[in-house]
Amino acid sequence: MKGKLFMYAFIFALLLMVFQYVNSKNIFESYQDKMNKHIEKERVLKDSIKKLNIQLDKFRMQSQ
């Protein structure tokens, strides 16, 4: 009886570890996707700021 109980506890612990591994892997991939989206958005915004600064410099030169 104790042998079966130990075996069931071992299998349960093993399944729990597999579940935690898969769950943490999915969470990590989700965070990584979000971070990549934020990095791309930041790059686009920086490019927009650069373009606007160039336009502002041209406008300032024309008005002088």
Convert the pLDDT of each residue in 5-34 to its tens digit: 999 999 999 999 999 999 999 999 999 999
| pLDDT for residue 23 | 95
- From residue 7, alpha-carbon distances to 10, 13, 15, 18 in Å are 5, 10, 12, 17
Query: In the numeric block, which tokens belong to residue 39?
Result: 């990095």
**Which parts of 1-64 are beta strand (E)?**
none
User: How much is the pTM?
Assistant: 0.63
